[in-house]
Structure 1
Amino acid sequence: MRTLFKRTLIALSLLLALNSIAVNAQTVKWDSTYRPGKYAELAAKFKADPKSKKDFVFLGNSITAGTDWARLLDLPQAKNRGISGDITFGVLDRLQDVIDGKPEKIFILIGINDISRNIPDSIILRNYKTMIARIRKGSKKTQIYFNTLLPVNSSFEKFKNHYGKDEHILWLNDQIRKFTAKNVTVIDLYPVFLDQSNHLKAELTKDGLHLIPSGYQVWADFLKKSGYLK
């Protein structure tokens, strides 16, 4: 009887262990603490940069970092606050410095690296809403422009963690389009860069993720035409 009891306990322990392994195998791990290698250096540089209430701040990751916004838009007050590889948690960590400057406009494009790092869509959306709430509270006159995420193009086969996750981009963009808070304007960039196959236009990118100069020119022309820079 005692032997049977021991065997039953062993069997139950094995079953629990197997269940635990199965659950862990199905759980996608993600890390809110990740920061790119140059994050601290660039954040410090941005903090030291003179600020003005007339600034137009472009805030995001490498897609934002990839151009000289002041030159592209012919706007000396345009400030580039993009950090390559950044995620929404990184933007939140350095957002207060932007808020303290009380800029005239903030243009936000962030989230594709979160998607690539398997951060849940609901968490990304929560971070978006936190950004908006903090800016509205800390700099009441600042106009917030929230961009939808750009499409990607997997045919380049370079950023595989960013490809094949279109449903996440589409869901987040649908949520962004619902932003209606005061001082918040949605800029729907996604369709501007979309080809007939629902991919990022190949002629505007060098790797299926980042834009080339002609891609930034399309972006600039869209901002100007739509009146977002007035």
Structure 2
Amino acid sequence: MKSNFNKLLVALGLIFVISFNQASAQTVKWDSTYRPGKYVEQVAKFKADAKSKKDYIFLGNSITAGTDWAKLLNLPQAKNRGISGDGTFGVLERLQDVIDGKPAKIFILIGINDVSRNIPDSVILGNYKKIVERIRKGSKKTQIYFNTLLPVNASFEKFKNHYGKDDHILWLNSEIRKLAAKKVTVIDLYPQFLDKDSHLKAELTKDGLHLIPDGYKVWADFLNASGYLK
């Protein structure tokens, strides 16, 4: 009897261990405290830059950081506030400096790095709404423009953490489009960069994630044609 009881305990223990390991494997860990290596340096640089209520702020990550917006758009008041590797938590952390300048317009493109770092979609969306609410509260006259996320192209095989997560991009973009109901101007960039296979057009990127000059030209032409810069 005692032997059978011990066997039962062992069996139950094995079931517990297996169940625990399966649950652990299904739990995706994520970190809201991560900041890219040059984050502090870049934030200090932005704070030192002169501010004007006529500024057009381009706020985001490396995709935003990858061009000279003033030159690209022929708009001296366009200011680049992109930080390579940044996510929604990083934007929230440095947002007050942008708000304090009370710029005329803020163009936001952020979230693909959150997706790559397995931050839940609902958390990313919550951060989008916090960004909008804080701008609305702190700079009432600032016009907010929220870009949909760009597609990626896994054929380049360079940013594997960003690939295979198209469903997340599509869901977040569907939620970004709903921000229009909050009097936010939604700039639907996603379709402008999409190829026939629903990937980022290979001729517009150097690595399946970041844009080349031809890609930024598509972006600039779309902004101009849609009247978002007036």
TM-score (normalizing by structure 1):
0.95
Matches within 5 A, 1:73-222: 73-222=73-222
Greater mean deviation of Cα atoms: 176-185 or 52-61:
176-185
Q: Give the secondary-structure state (helix, strand or coil) at the position aligned to 1:180.
A: helix
1:70 aligns with 2:70: yes
| Number of aligned positions between the proteins | 230
Aligned-partner SS, 1:95? helix
1:191 is displaced (CA, Å) by: 0.6
Alpha-carbon separation, structure 1, partners of 2:189 and 2:180: 17
In 2, Cα distance between the equivalents of 1:123 and 1:172?
11
Aligned residue for 2:55?
Answer: 55
2-structure distance, mates of 1:19, 1:218: 50
Tell me the secondary structure at the aligned position of residue 59 of structure 2. Answer: strand
Whole-Å Cα distance in 2 between the matches of residues 207 and 19 of structure 1? 40
**SS across alignment from 2:173:** helix
Letter in 2 for 1:41: E
> Which runs of 5 or more structure 2 residues have no equivalent in the other structure?
none
Are 2:36 and 1:36 equivalent residues in the alignment?
Answer: yes
Instruction: Using the TM superposition, give the Cα deviation of residue 212 of structure 1 relative to its aligned residue in structure 2, in angstroms.
Output: 0.5
Which residues of structure 1 form unaligned runs of 5+?
Answer: none
**What residue identity is the alignment partner of 2:42?**
L
User: Match for 1:206: what amino acid?
Assistant: K
Relative to 1, partners in 2 of residues 1:182 and 1:24: Cα closer, same or farther, differing over 3 Å?
Answer: closer
| SS class of match (1:161) | helix
TM superposition shift of 1:66: 0.0
Aligned AA for 1:44? A
> How far did 1:171 drift?
0.8
Are 1:143 and 1:183, in contact at CA under 8 Å, matched by a contact in 2? no
Aligned pair 1:223/2:216, yes or no? no
- Give yes or no for contact 1:136–1:183 (8 Å, CA) kept in 2: no
What TM-score comes out, normalization by structure 2 length?
A: 0.95
Distance 1:64 1:227 in 2: 19
| Per-residue deviation, residues 132-186 of structure 1 (Å, max 9, x unmatched) | 1111111111100000001111111111111111111111111111113454100
- Offset at 1:195? 1.2
**How many Å separate the matches in 1 of 2:40 and 2:14?**
46
Given that 1:206 and 1:212 are in contact with CA atoms closer than 8 Å, whether structure 2 keeps it comes out as yes
Rounded Cα–Cα distance in structure 1 between residues aligned with 2:72 and 2:191: 21
**Contact 1:142 / 1:183 at 8 angstroms: preserved in 2?**
no
Three-state SS of the structure 2 residue aligned to 1:228 is coil
Amino acid at match of 1:37: G
Cα RMSD over matched residues?
Answer: 1.4
Q: CA separation in 1, counterparts of 2:221 and 2:137?
A: 31
> What one-letter code is carried by the residue in structure 1 that aligns with 2:102?
K
Identity over aligned residues, as a percent? 78
Q: Distance in 1 between matches of 2:10 and 2:71?
A: 70
CA distance in 2, matches of 1:19, 1:200: 40
How far, CA to CA, are the matches of 2:193 and 2:78 in structure 1?
22
